[in-house]
A and B are shown apart, each in its own frame.
Chain A
């Protein structure tokens, strides 16, 4: 069995690698929680790349229902076809469209299924998927067929902890919490994106970044992805390292709220 490892684009802590591999071995969904911008969604892409498997992403919105992931019965199309006498109206299966979960089940090769931001959906949503994720099969009532996974997909679920997930659902998952990266790991992460970044620039930018995160009354703490964008902006702008702390150039990339901007300017150096 192949193991998940850090890729060129994604730096994973040892703990996280273990979590991914245990989830694969035990055939259980991997639940990833963490602050926004800590690379939860990126993880699935990295796993897919590292294991060389196809990635299917199911983005959850507040209106998403569990049924959407399984299949949709396009009744309207069938009605049209029936009225105009087109197509094989009798054949219901023509009007069944598989959702993301159904798509993952019917692939011949094992795929990675990312259920992104599961906490966005209704409270009952995870419970409605228990059977499907456990047994990796579902039943289409209209055609009286059941769809069973040919190759059990590797399921990765992310959550921003907006809602508490139901216990029954949690019991079935492997859990990993992505901590906010310490300075050393952060340096490594930045260098993955910009290997040639100048040392002093990186150091000063990180000092400012962590200083802002330290300020108690900042409303929205800057995240990893914002730091990466900021460093990119600094490089493109040709800002020299010594100007970063005194002028806070392009600070809008990491601080997004007016109130925070004031606080940051007053507090950092």
Chain B
């Protein structure tokens, strides 16, 4: 029975090692769990699980083994992905929502139990993404289930609360906030940015600095005869160029961007940090302030000349340009194009700066041909979602030697 629990934990994705398992057996031998199931639950959890993000997996394994409870038709990962449309919430107006509830919906007067039963039925049968309908589980619809829907009362599946009316949240984990894919806050930003330093000290550079501690140690050990020790310079060689999309479609992300901006500037370990702004796409000028006022700018070519190619470049933006903004050489409606289209300017960027990444706060998961501009930019330079995980990956890409 116990061995079954071990494998049950592992099948839920908990990396329980043999060492930890033996510790648990040891604890049980010492009678630390007493004869209470609750006590046993605590003891096994504190020994086997080492992160609060895994508590949920542990609970499932525990329930499965000891209660005989099998989780029927768990809300699958792919379903959560179809439903992760939190950015759509803003688009459904209060008025639409009101109208939806006015109409005689399919399940309007259904009891909670009925809704749950229907939900289970759909879970069993549904195998693809459905948004905006009135039958399947999906986003933006008017059934009782799914998310970003307008129905008052119902089951929300994953995502974030839209109208906070769902009476039961399936698949939303209590400890979810700690997950890696959570959109990040200032402190986590700083930690991720620190990665740029860590790797930089490992660069292959000559030992050119006097190691004072080492020299003193060696000299003293040498009975007072001077013995010099050299070490690699500890200074961070990383130079960073941050280019941020400002205004328009980026307004919902203002908070997030200001966090990133502050984190970069608080990280005083870079050799140099330059920040410029652009609107939707980079053209012949980049702006000095987020207001993007015409005139208060520098020429992009000046940037190329003065910030040499060993600057690491982070571009932040939603890459949601209209096709003409990207491909037409008169597509910049706020300023001059200087004969090149946005795409060509981006290509120039890519050609000049060898280490360049694009961070996108609302990147579509996987292949998203309907976001034409995003797909085009993605082909040009590596794009990551602006989350802890994404930023970490981006930092890694920036540090990799070509």
Which residues of chain A have a CB within 8 Å of any CB of chain B? 14-15, 18-19, 21-22, 25-26, 28, 31, 33, 75-76, 78-79, 82-83, 123, 161-163, 167, 170-177, 217, 219
B224 interfacial by beta-carbon distance below 8 Å: yes
B216 touches A76 (CB 8 A): yes
B50 interfacial by beta-carbon distance below 8 Å: yes
**Least CB separation from B188: chain A residue:** A162
Which residues of chain B have a CB within 8 Å of any CB of chain A? 15, 17, 19-20, 23, 26-27, 30, 32, 39, 42-43, 46-47, 49-52, 55, 178, 185-187, 191, 198, 216-217, 219-221, 223-224, 255
Provide the residues of chain B in CB contact with A175, threshold 8 Å.
46-47, 49-51
**Least CB separation from A14: chain B residue:** B42
Provide the residues of chain B in CB contact with A28, threshold 8 Å.
23
- Some 15 contacts from A to B, beta carbons below 8 A apart, are A18-B46, A19-B42, A21-B32, A26-B30, A26-B47, A33-B52, A75-B217, A75-B221, A79-B219, A79-B224, A162-B187, A170-B50, A171-B19, A177-B52, A219-B185
- A26-B39 contact in complex given A167-B15, A171-B17, A177-B52, C-beta closer than 8 Å: no
Q: How far is the CA of A27 from the CA of B220 in the complex (A)?
A: 40
B220 touches A75 (CB 8 A): yes
Cβ of A54 to closest chain B Cβ, rounded Å: 25
Instruction: List 15 additional contacts besides A26-B47, A162-B187, A177-B52; criterion CB under 8 Å.
Output: A18-B46, A19-B46, A22-B27, A22-B32, A25-B32, A26-B27, A33-B51, A79-B219, A79-B220, A167-B15, A171-B50, A174-B46, A174-B47, A175-B51, A219-B185
Cβ of B50 to closest chain A Cβ, rounded Å: 4
Cβ of A165 to closest chain B Cβ, rounded Å: 8
**Least CB separation from B34: chain A residue:** A18
B23 touches A26 (CB 8 A): yes
- A173-B50 contact in complex given A26-B27, A219-B186, C-beta closer than 8 Å: yes
Which label, helix, strand, loop or mixed, suits the secondary structure of the B interface?
A: helix
Provide the residues of chain B in CB contact with A75, threshold 8 Å.
216-217, 220-221
A26 touches B224 (CB 8 A): no
Give the 8 A-B residue pairs with the shortest CB-CB distance, closest first.
A75-B220, A170-B50, A177-B52, A175-B50, A79-B220, A18-B42, A19-B46, A174-B46
A83 touches B224 (CB 8 A): yes
A25 touches B27 (CB 8 A): yes
Instruction: From A25, A78, A79, A177, give the contact of B30 (CB < 8 A).
Output: A25
B52 touches A22 (CB 8 A): no
Provide the residues of chain B in CB contact with A170, threshold 8 Å.
50-51
Provide the residues of chain B in CB contact with A83, threshold 8 Å.
224
Cβ of A163 to closest chain B Cβ, rounded Å: 7
A15 touches B42 (CB 8 A): yes
**Least CB separation from A172: chain B residue:** B19
Provide the residues of chain A in CB contact with B47, threshold 8 Å.
22, 26, 174-175
Provide the residues of chain A in CB contact with B216, threshold 8 Å.
75-76, 79
Provide the residues of chain B in CB contact with A177, threshold 8 Å.
52, 55
A217 touches B255 (CB 8 A): yes
Q: How far is the CA of A223 from the CA of B27 in the complex (A)?
A: 34
